[in-house]
Structure formats: C-alpha cells, structure tokens
Amino acid sequence: MKLSLGERVFQTANILVLGLIGLITIFPIYYVVIVSFTDPAEYLSKDLVLFPTNWSLDSYRYLLSTSAFPQALGVSAFLAVVGTACSLIVTSSLAYALSRKRMQGRRPIMLMILFTILFTPGIIPNYILVRELGLLNSLWAVILVSLSTGWFVILMRGFFQSIPESLDEAAAIDGCNDITAFFRIVLPLSMPAIAAFGLFFAVGYWNQYFNAMLYLNSPDKWPIQVLLQNMLVDASGSSMVSETFNQPPPSETLKMAAVVIAILPIVMVYPFLQKHFAKGAMVGSIKG
C-alpha cells in the first residue's frame, strides 16, 4: 500500500516518539543495574558513570556476606511462598463454592464480600485487631491481613463459573463429596488459571511494604522492601541498619545492588505475568 508523504512522516515520528518513551521507561532500570556493577571506588571518583570501565561484583559480594540482607530475602521468599499458598487455598475454595448455583445464600455472601471493597475501616482498626490477636511482630500478621481481597474472589468466581456443574454431578456419582471433588478434580483442571492467580498473589507479597513496616518491629523479621527502604534513607549511619551492617552508611553502589536483587524475581516471572495480563488488567479496571 502506498502511503502519502504526510503519513510517512507521521509513521516515522511515531516510531521515534514511542522509542523515546520506551528509553525513558527503561533508563532508570538500566542505570540501577550499571551502578550496582560499578566498582565502588570508580563510582566515587567519577562524576558521571553511564558505563563502567571496571565491572565489579563487590557490592553483591558484600551484600550477601551480611547477615541482614540474606535474612530479609528469606523473609520475603517465605511471605511469597507460604502467603501465596494460603491465599490460593482460602480464596479459590471460597470462590468455587460461590460459583456453584446449588449453593443457596451465595448472593448475601457475595454482597458482604463486595462491601469490603467499597468500604475499609482504615489503618487503626486493623492495627488494633492485629494487636488484640497477639500477631504484632509476627510474619503471619502480614500474610493474614492481605490473605484475600474481594477482587480476587470476584475474579476467581468468574473463572470457576466457566466450569460446568455437570462435572460435579459426575464426581458425585463417582463417590466424591464437594471437598474431595474440588481438590481432586476441579483444582487440577484449573491449574493454568490457579498458577496465574498465584503469580499475582506472589508479586503482591514480594512487594509488600506498608503492612510489614506497620506490624513487624524487629529488623530480623523485615522483608526485603522494608530493609531496602531503611538502607536508602539511612544517610546518617546511626540507625539499626548500619548496626546490622556494622559499618558506615551503605554506599550508593551497595544500595543499588540491593535494588537490583529486589527487582530480579519480578523480572524473572515477568514473561509469565505477561501471559495473563488480561486478568490483571481486569483487576485494575474495576479498581479504576
């Protein structure tokens, strides 16, 4: 097809403009990686490092040799794995039950769950509840307060509605009750969707910052995001982080190595996340 001159100009400009936006998007991530691999001495001595002459793994080596950093990674991994497992079990079983037409009274239960999306009592009542339950400074507090949300129940219920109820009847004839049918037949059948929901839960747990900061007091229970935030604002060298790192304030290259390690798992699951964007976009769209 022949394009007019104006259209060709537009096409070229479009390619360039979008490319530029892409560069702006990717540059901070590129730069953080570069800084983290720069030799700390070179970073200090030079004004501007856009590409290091001396590559160095010193920052990473040092980070992983501390006790605090690997511990925080472990905490975040624990939250992501155990939290996701708990979230999936509780949310999927509830959503499945609510997707079955033979479950009477599911409308009021759905309304009850919908209302929790529209109205939240705020930070303080949640905090008091966690304290009354004796969960302060426990990792379970972080898992429990974000175990499930109305959005996930709605999305999962929508998915389970596509599984015909005749399947349950067949399972019942084979001697399954609803619980065994769910775990032995429905869940294995829905594995791709469950994996997708699991990924979104896991990213949420890995990125968990505020709840962890609110409920976890002792630094040995901090997940990676909280430790990272403390490293970043720690310019004075007087805080707990410096004590745990047992040295003057963490250098810039060290901080950026920590950022890169915190980004890494997200980048690793990103291709899988991308496959399931449609569902994620749905969450975003209802949220507005």
Partner 1 sequence: MQKTELGHISGSGSASRETKKLRTRSSFISAVRKNRYLYLLALPGILYFLIFKYLPMWGIVISFQNYSPYAGVFNSNWVGFDHFRRFFSNPDFWLLFRNTMAINLLNLTLFFPLPIILSLLLNELRGVLYKRVLQSVFYLPHFLSWVIIFSLTFLMFSQGEGIINKMLVFFGQDPYPFLTDPNIFWFMLTGQSIWKEAGWGTILFLAAIAGIDQQQYEAAKMDGAGRLRQMWHVTLPSIRTVIVILLILRLGDMMDVGFEQVFLMYNGAVSHVAEVFDTYVYRVGIQQGQFSYSTAVGLFKSVVGLVLVLGANYLAKRAGEEGIY
CB of 200 to partner 1, least distance (A): 9
Count CB neighbours of 228 within 10 A: 19
The residue among 33 and 242 lying less far from partner 1, judged by its C-beta, is 33
CB of 30 to partner 1, least distance (A): 11
CB of 94 to partner 1, least distance (A): 3
The residue among 181 and 193 lying less far from partner 1, judged by its C-beta, is 181
CB of 133 to partner 1, least distance (A): 8
Contact (Cβ atoms closer than 8 angstroms) between residue 38 and residue 256: no
Task: For the chain, report the end-to-end CA distance as a whole number of angstroms.
Answer: 40
Dist CA 80 CA 156 (whole Å): 19
- Give 136's DSSP letter: T
Q: How many CA atoms lie within 13 A of 223 on its CB side?
A: 28
Contact (Cβ atoms closer than 8 angstroms) between residue 244 and residue 219: yes
The residue among 56 and 93 lying less far from partner 1, judged by its C-beta, is 93
The residue among 21 and 64 lying less far from partner 1, judged by its C-beta, is 21
- Give 251's DSSP letter: P
**Residue 249 is encoded by which pair of tokens?**
């304030």
The residue among 55 and 210 lying less far from partner 1, judged by its C-beta, is 210
Rg (CA), the chain: 24
The residue among 66 and 207 lying less far from partner 1, judged by its C-beta, is 207
CB of 279 to partner 1, least distance (A): 11
CB of 14 to partner 1, least distance (A): 5
Dist CA 258 CA 224 (whole Å): 9
